[in-house]
Amino acid sequence: MSQFWSQRTHDLTPYVPGEQPKDMEYIKLNTNENPYPPSDKVLAAIQAASDEGLRRYSDPIGNDLKQAIADYYNVDTSMVFFGNGSDEVLGHTFAALLKQDAPLLFPDICYSFYPVYCKLFGIESIQIPLNENFEIDIKDYEIENGGIIFPNPNAPTSIALPLDDIETLVQKNPNSVIVVDEAYVDFGAETAVPLTKKYPNVLVTQTFSKSRSLAGLRVGFAIGAPELIEGLERVKNSFHPYTLGKPALAGATASMLDVETFEKNRDALIETRDWSTQALAELGFDVTPSSTNFVLALPPEGHSAEEIYLALKSKGVLVRYFKTPRIDKHLRISIGTDEEMQGLLNALKSIIT
């Protein structure tokens, strides 16, 4: 609190990222990072970009990265935007496309950054409750709106919405932008990128932080019709034109081109998720069907999520506990390596039996 803050600063409720404690070596399963490191090709590209000279500004247009993303998704480069993590891409999206006269709609349980951006940019919003199975029911979105945004698969529920449902939502809202936040799409959902070529009002956002093991490099991107991308570029270039440094541009480009490592790590993660889900169920947890690199797990009767979260932490295992209505009975557990998941299960066994 300070007399020097603007009224808007006073009114903000900033986002709180998952904890990163340094007091001991943890099995870290709380921020949905990838357990596998980026490939040697990516590391070599980052090194080469640094050696080549950080004295110069990075390329504000970033055509190589745009081309790599465009080729991967078979779209034109005019349909690609990138930024400093998908958080920044989302921030520009809220400012450029989602601040309208009618309210923005998003699920009551979803990425907790959305209400933060609404406050920052002064955007009216309505939170639409997920159904009792934690699913999005598109019929609930048939109300006047100035835009719709949701993660697909949703976070922290891990549940995916079928592409047909997304297309119906897009068709029913021809005058609003529909933003599909695909931070976790590579782990099991169908991307809505094909819709961006058919409809002028769909924007898909993705990140290199999860399926591409580059959370620390901070690169995210969006794909949509050229007019939507132009809107994002206008906001970006009114705020900070050099969003990505040279190492980030080079590392993300190399990562997009390294399809083999991407697929190998994704498949390994899915395999680990599937056996871990089974093992958690055998311990009495009720686990939602996950299309992501995390699971949402309801502890067995007689154990609260908060108690298990704290007990795990004391044993050196970090998972995410949200003290917020409707999901405060669950734990969100990121999928680690086989060894890390075995460590989690051993710790859980000693807590609940």
Interacting residues with ligand PMP (CB under 6 A): 85-87, 111, 151, 155, 181, 183, 207, 209, 215, 220
Cβ proximity to ligand PMP: between 86 and 291 the closer is 86
Cβ proximity to ligand PMP: between 120 and 348 the closer is 120
Q: How far is CA 210 from CA 171, 264, 292, in A?
A: 30, 14, 9
Cβ proximity to ligand PMP: between 304 and 324 the closer is 324
Q: How far is the CB of 132 from ligand PMP (least distance, A)?
A: 22
Q: How far is the CB of 302 from ligand PMP (least distance, A)?
A: 30
Contact 58, 259 (CB under 8 A): no
Nearest one of 189, 179, 171, 182 to 149, comparing CA atoms:
179
Cβ proximity to ligand PMP: between 191 and 351 the closer is 191
Cβ proximity to ligand PMP: between 79 and 110 the closer is 110
Cβ proximity to ligand PMP: between 75 and 180 the closer is 180
Q: How many CB atoms lie within 10 A of CB 51?
A: 8
Q: How many CB atoms lie within 10 A of CB 23?
A: 5
Which residues are CB-neighbours of 267 under 8 A, at least 6 positions away? none
Cα-flanking dihedrals φ and ψ of residue 115, to 5°?
A: -65, -30
Cβ proximity to ligand PMP: between 196 and 213 the closer is 213
Q: How far is the CB of 216 from ligand PMP (least distance, A)?
A: 9
Q: How far is CA 81 from CA 49, 136, 260, 347, in A?
A: 21, 27, 24, 43
Q: How far is the CB of 112 from ligand PMP (least distance, A)?
A: 9
Cis peptide before 156 (omega within 30 of 0): yes
Q: How far is the CB of 143 from ligand PMP (least distance, A)?
A: 23
Q: How far is the CB of 292 from ligand PMP (least distance, A)?
A: 9
Q: Strands across the sheet with 220-224, in order?
A: 80-83, 220-224, 202-207, 178-181, 147-151, 104-107, 125-128
Contact 120, 12 (CB under 8 A): yes
Q: How far is the CB of 26 from ligand PMP (least distance, A)?
A: 18
Nearest one of 54, 2, 116, 109 to 332, comparing CA atoms:
109
